[in-house]
Amino acid sequence: MTSSRAAFAAILAKDLRSELRTLQSLPAMALFSVTTFVIFRFGLDRTQLSGSLAAGVLWATLLFAAVLGINRLFVAEREEGGFDAIRLAPIDRSVLFSAKAAALVIYLLALELIAVPIFALFFLHDLGGLLPLALILLLADLGLAATGTLISSMAVNSRARDLLVPLVLLPLVVPLMIAATGATEPLLALGGPGYHRFGTWLMVLGLYDLIFGLVGYAVFDFLLED
Amino acid sequence: MYGKGLRPLSIATVAMLALSLSLVFFYAPLDGDQGFIQKIFYLHVPLAIVALVGFVVGGVFAIAHLRTNNRKWDAYSYVAIHMSVIFGVAVLVTGSIWAKASWGHWWVWDEPTLVSFLIVFLMYATYYPFRYAIEDPERQARYASVFAITAGAFVPLNFMAVRMAQSLVHPRTFGTANGGLPGEMMLVFLCCLATMALLWVTLVKFELTAKSASGQVKRLRRALDAPTPGAASRIAPEVS
């Protein structure tokens, strides 16, 4: 019986290699983010953002870009028979969940490496808040990946696949967004970064990651049953 | 089989409803600031509590379904969530009426309790399109159970997050020990809470009985090779 760690590494490597070769999700996500920033510039009629407005624009854009990636996460598995392969392989099936979630975290981090500097270039005049922002981005990505992988695997087998993911995912990530924007808002404030309730929000993010990571890992097996 | 006990349950519910309403209008004292308007609290809060507990109960039934693989638990879960969503609509409507009467606005965004409840309600409203998008009935049942469990885990987390985000104008009646509710109000409140819980259980049982009866009729029809009307009704979970 193949060890879970080896299976995890194999599936993760397969996903990353596949993405590097086909470049399906990542360029689309990045381009979408940049275009959305431009739309916000005109929609809000502002060339500088700070505080709650900056946090809102950044997180809304990242969230919708993430949905694009989440929509495509299990498509290859469904079309090329990946689900059957996992069912046949002598491994613990929840490994697919962890590997896909890890791949999604990597895609999101890559997205943020492109989108956040561009956001700073377009809208921010004070870059002091960006380093602590990286920590929030990481924790939020973990939560988004856990929930996104779960919903994506459920939606991929249904009829209205691309509609279902945004519909079901968005209410579920609201606490995550509340915590992320709550922590980001003082960081991007006009007078320089503030840390009002930073620790509390980090804790909420961590709690969300833990709960949905565990729930996702626990129920994933039932989703793969035939 | 499912209808056993439905009649005494219904009678008990009607009796409790009559008792509670009389207590609300004739026994409960008038509130100091809000006056008569406050009495909608006796309807609104029990509905909200029962709806939220109903969502969690739906999640528990879903766990039972995944563990035993018996489809009846999935039907219970579906009906529990269905009834709680309907109670949720009642909560939002009674809440808006109360809000308009006491604060002057039908809806306010800086109230954590309102926003949390709305988010939970919207999430469970997506249960239906999600469920009906999956064609294979067994898979549909399994995925719906997974959704119900995830959503059940989400409810407390959501309330915590939203409450932390904001300040409060929504009355925190049960914040301090024993609330701030005087004895008579607490009695009437508990009576109304029991009534709403009983109402929920009765309606759930009623819906399950109806589904069971129509399931039996369908089976008989199929056995007799008679035509079955209404293809659309086949997508909702059946109880055999």
Q: What is the least distance, in Å, from the CA of A179 to any CA of chain B? A: 7
CA atoms of B198 and A41, how far apart (whole Å): 54
* Residue A223 with chain B: CB contacts under 8 Å: 142-143, 146
pLDDT at position B233: 53
Range of the domain at A189: 4-224
The answer to whether position B158 is within a domain reads yes
The dihedral sign for the CA sequence A202, A203, A205, A209? positive
The answer to whether position B175 is within a domain reads no
Pick the residue from chain A with its C-alpha nearest to B144: A154
Angle at A79 between CA A74 and CA A81, to 5 degrees: 90
CA atoms of B163 and A175, how far apart (whole Å): 10
The answer to whether position B137 is within a domain reads yes
pLDDT tens, residue by residue, B1-16: 567 888 899 999 999 9
Least reliable range by pLDDT among B148-152, B177-181, B207-211: B177-181
Pick the residue from chain B with its C-alpha nearest to A162: B133
Q: CA distances (Å), B14 to each of B2, B199, B202, in order?
A: 20, 8, 10
Mean pLDDT, chain A, rounded, equals 89
Chain B interface, Cβ < 8 Å to A: 66, 119-120, 122-123, 126, 129-130, 133-135, 139, 142-143, 145-147, 149-151, 153-154, 157-158, 160-162, 164-165
The answer to whether position B1 is within a domain reads no
A194: left (phi over 0), alpha (psi -120 to 50) or beta: beta
Q: Which residue has the tokens 């992320």?
A: A180
Number of domains in chain B: 1
Which pair of tokens denotes residue B1? 């089989």
Label residue B178 by pLDDT band (50, 70, 90): very low
Range of the domain at B203: 6-169+181-235
Percent of chain B at pLDDT exceeding 90 = 38
> Is B146 in contact with B77 (CB distance < 8 Å)?
no
Number of domains in chain A: 1
Which pair of tokens denotes residue B181? 């509710």
ipTM of predicted assembly, 2 dp: 0.71
Global pTM exceeds 0.90 = no
Mean pLDDT across A111-131: 90
The answer to whether position B128 is within a domain reads yes
